[in-house]
Amino acid sequence: MSDWIDVISASALLDGENSVVDVDGVDVAVFNLAGTFYAIEDVCSHDGGEIASGVIEGEEIICPRHGARFCIKTGRVTSPPAYEDIPCYSVRIENGRIQVKGV
């Protein structure tokens, strides 16, 4: 069974920002969208590169290399060239800290 992993202070991420954290040896991008936090694996399913440095538009992140789009809330791919979703993680806030459910 996986545990909740304390990754970063909730106050460290302003609206529209993200940070890459380690969750059980996996790079995970944690996002603040209008005060709600989301976490997806920091990988583009199209080419395996990182995704967190991409542009955020609304609830989507755009891959910085080839323009694939993913829903930040669910990891669902929304535009090619990617066709596979990326893993999404559960997030909670405990004592002002963001915690991500481990894999």
Largest CA distance in the chain: 40
pLDDT at 76: 98
Q: What share of the chain is helix, strand, coil (3-state, %, to 5)?
A: 5, 50, 50
Average pLDDT across the chain, whole number: 95
| Torsions phi, psi for 96 (to 5 deg) | 80, 5
Q: In the predicted model, is pLDDT for residue 89 greater than 70? A: yes
Q: In the predicted model, is pLDDT for residue 1 greater than 60? A: no
Q: In the predicted model, is pLDDT for residue 2 greater than 90? A: no
Parse the chain into domains and list their residue ranges: 4-101
Per CATH, the number for 4-101 is 2.102.10.10
Where residue 102 falls among pLDDT bands split at 50, 70, 90? confident
Average pLDDT over residues 61-77: 97
Where residue 13 falls among pLDDT bands split at 50, 70, 90? very high
Give the list of residues 6+ apart from residue 58 with CB closer than 8 angstroms, or none: none
